[in-house]
Amino acid sequence: MSAPEHPNNPAADVLIIGGGLSAALLAAQLLRQAGQRRVLVVEPRDELGRGEAYSATHLGHTLNGNAARMSVDPDNANDLSQWLDQHIAAGGWPESAAQGVPVTELFAPRGLFGVYVRQRLAEAQAVGAQQGSWLEHVQAEALDLAVDEQGVSVSLADGRTLRASRAVLATGMFAAARTPQRGDNAFNSACVDPWDIQAMRSIDPDGRVVIIGSGLTMVDAVVSLQAAGHRGPIEVFSRHGLLPHVRRQPPAWEDFLAADLSLRSPLQLLRALRNQCRLARQQGIDWQAPLDTVRVHIGRLWSQASERHKRQFVRHVRPWWESHHHRSPPPGAALLAQLIEAGRLRIHAASLQGVETGADCLPVVKLRFRGQTQVDRISADALINSTGIEYDWRRVARPLPQNLLQRRLIQPGPLALGIAANAQGAVQDGEGRYSSQLFAMGPPLRGLWWESTSVTDVALQAKALAQLLAGTGR
């Protein structure tokens, strides 16, 4: 994805930091805007569009949404379904037949989804080239940036400095299992990567594996263990001991939130949603049907909630929201059910208190079980961190977040989730000023929108931000 040299004007119009889904969709939208545009994407990986989420290569690591929910085109909800239909017809992904469902209901491998994103980006590059726009992938890590009246300067790990009129923080998600934490790296250093099947093959096949965290990363970890040939016990620990529900395909349900704008607080929403789910069950309809109507209203509900209500939601409702809303793909859920029935996998409600190294150099996990005060020590043949995503940039021990926070070019977002910005994505600095040159999108805006990670969320943000940066937005 190299671009021609422009020695007389090396500055870009837009520089995007990060090269995963958020960056790829924003770049594609920018290239499709009318007019000539120079776009730089700074990303250490050798491919754009994959990022942390879609670099997985094992077919068992699937999307947690079916094809009809995962289009990268905000104007065509069937875009992924149509792409998959053509891809499968051409001989790609023959294993899809095993799911036994129509294309719209397929749960595609995340690596294949990365191929889809890259193809849509390449198509946008072709469109952009026709009008003189270009995209360059700068394969390096961004360490720091500076903002002045002329634009933005970005310092790279290889010593180079790039300039642009405006920059966008599209850093994606910091997976807790792969992100160094400030003040405590002992946990991750003792863990096996949840997606590294090759590393898992070195675990005693009959040994006990301890997994901390019971969300979707845990599902991936169990899939990886199965692929690696592990056949021993798996002990899963999380604070509330909740497993993600399996995602099903319920029938359509009336958008009850659109009909009642008086619902504002998380408690009001929870009560109304429980009532709707009760009504659905009484009619013999899957309770997931009412839940799925909430998605389009999340940003509005979260932004209008008070700080007190937000804190109440995070403290008391979040675990149940995560297990009900961020549901498991059917293949992964089926494997979990199989292992639980066989007695190989058990889920416990307990909080991690630390990790020690035993006499045999294997990890010993310190846990406090729910309702108890004493700390128990459990030995394991292997330990896996499946605690999900680290959204608090203050804890991310990487140069860019730490430098930006230290120099007050950014500030933590609401409840320390991501970074602060306005509804247009303009970043707020430590003095409370919104930048006209530095923007953010996707997971860094978790605190602003609560749900800012799904494909549909990111696709809509990319379209709106591209129009703003190109001067075509309203």
* pLDDT at residue number 269: 86
E-assigned strands of 29-100?
A: 38-42
Of 173, 191, 235, the C-alpha closest to 390 is 173
Calpha distance 79→462 (Å, rounded): 16
* pLDDT at residue number 304: 85
459-to-70, 107, 116 alpha-carbon distances in Å: 10, 19, 14
Cross-strand partners of 142:
156
Cross-strand partners of 355:
365
> Which domains, from first to last, does the chain contain?
12-61+109-174+392-470 (3.50.50.60), 182-245+328-385 (3.50.50.60), 266-318 (no CATH)
Of 288, 289, 314, the C-alpha closest to 417 is 314
Calpha distance 148→467 (Å, rounded): 23
Query: What's this model's pTM, rounded to 2 decimal places?
Result: 0.94
The strand pair at 363-369 and 376-379 is best described as antiparallel
* pLDDT at residue number 259: 80
Calpha distance 30→135 (Å, rounded): 10
* pLDDT at residue number 4: 40
- Residue pLDDT tens, the chain, 474 long: 444 444 334 589 999 999 999 999 999 999 999 999 999 999 999 999 999 889 988 999 999 999 999 999 999 999 999 999 999 999 999 999 999 999 999 999 999 999 999 999 999 999 999 999 999 999 999 999 999 988 999 999 999 999 999 999 999 999 999 998 876 667 888 899 999 999 999 999 999 999 999 999 999 999 999 999 999 999 999 999 999 999 999 999 999 998 888 887 777 888 899 999 999 999 999 999 999 999 889 988 898 888 998 998 898 889 999 999 999 999 999 999 999 999 999 999 999 999 998 878 889 999 999 999 999 999 999 999 999 999 999 999 999 999 999 999 999 999 999 999 999 999 999 999 999 999 999 999 999 999 899 999 999 999 999 999 998 654
Answer for the pair 194, 384: CB distance below 8 angstroms, yes or no. Answer: yes
Please tell me the number of Cα atoms within 13 Å of 357 on its side-chain side.
8
Backbone angles phi, psi at 72, to 5 degrees: -90, -5
Based on the number of CB atoms within 10 Å of its own CB, is 369 exposed (0-12), middle (13-18) or buried (19 or more)?
middle
SS3 (DSSP) at 465: helix
* pLDDT at residue number 279: 97
* pLDDT at residue number 295: 87
Q: What would the two tokens of residue 103 be?
A: 């294309």
Answer for the pair 96, 62: CB distance below 8 angstroms, yes or no. Answer: no
Calpha distance 170→444 (Å, rounded): 7
Q: What would the two tokens of residue 191 be?
A: 């863990």
SS3 (DSSP) at 218: helix
Compute how many other C-beta atoms are within 10 angstroms of the C-beta atom of residue 226: 19
